[in-house]
Structure formats: structure tokens, C-alpha cells
Structure 1
Amino acid sequence: MDFPPRCNLARDKENQVCKLRKSLYGLKQSPRAWFGRFTESMKNFGYIQSNAYHTSFFKRDGRRLTALIVYVDDIVVTGNDTGEQLKLQKYLSQEFEMKDLGDLKYFLRIEVARSITGIFLSQRKYVLDLLTETGMLGYKHVDTFIKINHKLCEDMDQEPTNKEQYQRLVGMLIYLAHRRPDIAYAVSVVSQFIHSPCVSHRNTVDRILRYLKSAPGKGLTFSKNRDLEVVGYTDADWAGSVTDRRSTSGYFTFVGGNLVT
């Protein structure tokens, strides 16, 4: 290494080193050091770190709540306490170099649209990019994401397909299913065969992609409701798996009429 410019250290001395006092981009320990510094600052400002999601921080004042989530170096702040949000932004700007990008519109490939009735989340660009990458954009769309009474199973006699490509596609569909609950069941079926996928499994994945083409902009709407009633539903088939006769269960939960899980 060369000494930094304008360094006044005697360069004729042997075995001299520079002590790194600030983690820089490119160093393996820099993300951990930055997040440790960020966590310490949030706690000093009165926020509590979530035990379930360590990148989430909360501050409650009576009925008012402010929440913050950080992903790498992107931060989202929300809540019903506008004054506290402004104080938090000012505090973080003093502690770190930050830029306010305004209302949330795009985060982790999730598109956010607002109206007087609520918030709409979708992944239209994500779907179109996925269709373009797989070459399915020119295919004809289908109305159903999986065949009724399908008999997919681990059949060793079938022709195998590209394992790495199959796993990558299923992983991308799993991430998409959080905003597209209509494909959640089909994605759960194809994800059961990621260790030994066959042509029939890949055909089902392609069918899901063709189904997505019919309406790439579908998503979830979170409406403004005064109540926060929690309602859940669950169901299961009976020994539906052809391979091991196990059952497949499913559930979904509403909070104030809005789907959250």
C-alpha cells in the first residue's frame, strides 16, 4: 500500500503501518461495522430493535408508532407520527450522509402506488423482466396457473431438466408470491422438486410464467380501515401428495381487511 496523500509520517522508517479507523466499501467487515454503528445510533435516539427482524426499529408513544427498516443502505420510514419522522430524518442526516428520496415508490423490486383509498403493491416490472429473461414474453398466456388435479411427483423415469436454472426460477417465483398470493399454491408445488426437477416440473413452471403474462400488474391493495381485526383462514387437502401421501396445508391472515400473510 502507498501512504495516503498529504500524510506526514516519516517515510524512511521501516515496518510502519496505517491503522484503519473507518470501514470502506469493498472490505468484508464494512457492512457489519456500518450496521453496528447504525444500530447504536438508533438505540441512542430511543428506538427499539426488533427481535424477529434485526433490521427493523420501532418507537412507540401512546397510540403513535414510528417504524424504520433498513436493507443494505436503503432505509424506509413509516408510521402515524409525522413529527417523529421529521425528527428521525434530521437526526440520521446529522449522523450519516443521507438523501431523502420522498415518498416510497420502488423498494426491493416492489412498486408502490398511493391513492385516497390506500396503498397498492405490485411487481409489474419484476414480472416483465422475468418473462423477458426466460423468453416467455412472446408466448401465449394461459388463464390458470396449474392443471386441475395435477399428478406431479418425483418420477425417476422422467427426463431431467437443468437443475440450476430450475432452482433460480423457482426462487424468483417464491419472492413474487408474497405480492401474488394467486400463484402461492402452484409455487409451493414446484418448489417441492428443486432437488431433482424433471421436464414435467419445468413445464409447470413455464405454465406459471405464461399465467403471469395474462396480468403482470396484479398485486395487493391495503385499504384504509379503522378497525385492526385479525382474521385467519386455513385449510388442507387430505393425503394429496402422490409421492408420500402427505397433506398440503395453506393459510392466510387479514388485519383490518388487508392480506398480510
Structure 2
Amino acid sequence: MGGRVSEPTTKASQFVVAILAKSGNIVTLYQLDVNNAFLYGDLHEEVNMTLPEGYFTENDKQTEGNMFISLFVYVDDIVITGNDIDEIKRVKTFLNSKFLIKYPGVLKYFLGVEVLRNDENICISQRKYCLELLNDYSMLGSKPANTPIDLGLCVVCSPSEKDNLLSNITKYQKLFGRLIYLTLTRPDISFVVQILSQHMHAPLQSHLNLSFRTLRYLKGSHGKGVRMVKGNELSLKAYCDADLGKCKLNTRSVTGYLVYFCNSLVSWKSKKQATISSSSAEAEYRAMGLTACEIIWIINLLRDLNINVKLHVELMCDNSSAIQIAAYFS
């Protein structure tokens, strides 16, 4: 990746944005798999995330940016894309000379995520992963639930006579580790997973019961995913909201946001705020700040993919006081 995005492994939204950004072009995303990646030893060489000063000659600088190759790396799984098929082949040949590489071909299945595409749409889902999760917890025959959590439900934080601490918390922790990964393509369960994941070290019986309620919801919607439509208008739009004092552990507010690129959902999050907010305006303003950080990150990612996004970016918020505060400091 380029200088603005310098992560050692792929971020979830990075993977989604890359799929959408390249879906409208002729160049396709390809998948590579490194066999026995951990047997190649430690890396002692210096690695430049940006090309060092003096690398380009004057003639090279004139054509800089016309060709690019991007690799999205997660341990030993790699997705490669770019705007030059011949250069992609050269990169694949070079990698094959250094490592034992498998070439599954065009990207269809990556880290438990299925990528389905036609001429107009792309859909990413974790259907197989979800069914395996339901099977492991014997929930394939359960009665489906319509929602992942009851509306207005207050999650209990302290144990009682009727709601004791779990004697074996490992089962609960393993379940939520898998549910957290499932939120990669399931924004509809982000909120309930965010709530219950706070009790990983002291879960109650009611928390486990609610987690199985979430599994029953997944039973009826295991095939759902994120649908992305090709679009010519390269614009970003975001929505954010905050729930004042939603967390019963410390009365912190909860932020939620959605970010759209080309009218397709590419990033989402439900997260507890770092500090306590004294008013709804303050909570909403903090939510706007977190959303703005994600927008900037996505813009930089798109630039590294050689895509210039349309500015300005619309950030939608339903609190007039927070909007006025943001306008005052802009």
C-alpha cells in the first residue's frame, strides 16, 4: 500500500472498499495463498512503505500514477489488484519465485467471506461461516428470531440470585470471538455484539441466553450479506448517531455510523465512546468526530487505489446542536 495507508494486515473496511472500488473496472481482483508462510523465517530487511527519495528519475515522475498495483495481505492470504494485467502477472511471477504460491484464481472466497458478482452487483456474505457457527452450537434446528435483540431491552450488568455468573466463560468468549468476525459482513448484529462483548470476562447467564437469541436470529438470516452496486459517481456519504448513556456499566454513550461509497455500504461500526458525555449534543458531536476519522481513512485508501473521490463528503447527523458546533469549528 501507499504512504497514507500503512497497516501490516488488511482492515475489514479496506477489503470491502477495494472490492467496490475495482468492481466497475476491467481489472479483476485475484487471490493468492502462501503455503506454510510461517516457515519462511523472520524479516530482517528494511521495508519502505513509500518509495524512498531519489527512486524516480525525471522521466519516471512524468508517468508516476498511471500504473499501480495493490496487495491486501492478511497473514498468508493475499488479494492483488491493479490497472495493468501484465504488471499483475509480473508481480505474481516474482512472488512465486520467493514463496510457494497457490493461485485459486479470481477472488471468490477470502477469509471466510464469499464474493458473488455479476455484471451489475457484488455481494459479500459469510453464509458458510455462519452455518458452521450454528452447527457448532447445535442451533440449526432452532426456531428463528425476527431481531437480534428485543427493542428497549436493558442488559443486566450485575449478578443476582436468578442470574449468576457463568462458571465456564471460555465457551462465551469463543462464541463472541466468532460473532465479532461475523460483523465483517453483518452490520445488523453490530450493536448487540458490541453490547455483549463488554462482558467477556464476567458474563452472566442472561448474557449467554441473549447470545443464543442472536444465533436464532442468524438461523433465519444466515444468507444475508452486503450488496454493492456499481456506480459512476465516486462520492462518499455517511450517517452517524449516538445513544446518550446507553452503557449501563459506566453511563457512556454509544456511537453508531454507516459510510457509503457509490451508494453502497462499505463501513459501519457500533462503539462505546471513550468518555462520559454530559449532554446529547456532546455525545452526537463525538459520534461525528469518530465518523469523520473513518471518512478520512477511506479517502486516503481510495487515493492509494488511484481513485479520486468527490469532495465534499456529506455527514448526516440528526442533532442540530452538534451540527452547529461542528459548523462553528469548521
Would you say same fold, with TM above 0.5? yes
SS of 2:223's equivalent in the other structure is coil
The structure carrying a bigger helix percent of its residues is 2
Runs of 4+ in 1 over 3 A off after TM superposition: 29-32
1:31–1:72: 8 Å Cα contact kept in structure 2? no
Instruction: After superposition, give the CA deviation of every residue in 1:52-83 in whole Å (9 maximum; x if it has no partner).
Output: xxxxxxxx952543211233333221233323
2:164 maps to which of 129, 145, 159: 159
Partner amino acid, structure 2, of 1:166: Y
Distance 2:107 2:118 in 1: 13
Residue from 102, 127, 141 that aligns with 1:124:
127
In structure 2, what is the Cα distance between the partners aligned to 1:141 and 1:195?
Answer: 28
The amino acid across from 1:245 in the alignment is T
Q: Give, in angstroms, the shift of residue 218 of structure 1.
A: 0.7
Query: Residue 253 of structure 1 aligns with which residue?
Result: 259
Match of 1:203?
209
Partners of 1:145 and 1:258 in 2: CA distance:
23
Matches within 5 A, 1:105-116: 105-116=108-119
Q: Once the 2 structures are TM-superposed, how far is the Cα of residue 248 of structure 1 from its aligned partner?
A: 1.1
Q: Which runs of 5+ in 2 are unaligned?
A: 1-34, 52-62, 268-330
Q: 1:102 aligns with which of 101, 105, 122?
A: 105
Instruction: Tell me how far apart the structure 1 counterparts of residues 250 and 186 of structure 2 sit (CA, whole Å).
Output: 28
Q: How big is each residue's C-alpha offset from its partner over 1:131-165, in whole Å with a ceiling of 9 and x where there is no partner?
A: 01011111100101101111103112121223111
Give the superposed CA RMSD. 2.6
Structure 1 distance, partners of 2:44, 2:79, is 18
> Counterpart of 1:239?
245
Aligned to 2:178: 172
- Maintained 8 Å contact 1:66/1:85: yes
Residue number in structure 2 paired with 1:218: 224
1:188 aligns with: 194
How many residues get paired?
219
Q: Does 1 or 2 have the higher relative contact order (CA < 8 Å, sep 6+)?
A: 2
Give the counterpart letter for 1:93 in structure 2: N
Q: Aligned-pair distance for 1:36? A: 5.7
Deviations 1:186-232 (A, max 9, x none): 11111111121111111110011000011111111222222221211
Structure 1 CA distance for aligned equivalents of residues 144 and 66 of structure 2: 47
Alignment partner of 1:136 out of 139, 145, 151: 139
Query: Which one-letter code corresponds to 2:94 in the other structure?
Result: Y
Could you say which structure has the larger radius of gyration? 1
Q: 1:25 to 1:255 in 2, by over 3 A?
A: closer
Residue 186 of structure 1 aligns to which amino acid in structure 2?
Answer: V
Q: Please state whether the residue corresponding to 1:178 is helix, strand or coil.
A: coil
The 3 A distance-change label for structure 1 pair 32 and 248 is farther
SS in 2 for 1:260: strand
* CA positional deviation for 1:257: 1.8
Distance 1:176 1:31, change over 3 A: farther
Q: 1:105–1:113: 8 Å Cα contact kept in structure 2?
A: yes
**What SS does structure 1 have at the residue aligned with 2:97?**
helix
Query: Aligned runs of 1:44-83 on 2, under 5 Å?
Result: 48=50, 61-62=64-65, 64-83=67-86
Q: Give the letter for the 2:192 counterpart.
A: A
What is the rounded CA distance, in whole Å, between the counterparts of 2:247 and 2:78 in structure 1?
42
Instruction: For residue 168 of structure 1, report the CA deviation from its aligned partner.
Output: 1.0
Rounded Cα–Cα distance in structure 2 between residues aligned with 1:102 and 1:206: 37
Cα 1:119–1:25 shift into 2, 3 Å: closer
Change (3 A) 1:31 1:228: farther
Distance (Å, rounded) in 1 between the aligned partners of 2:177 and 2:263: 29
Structure 1 letter corresponding to 2:140: L
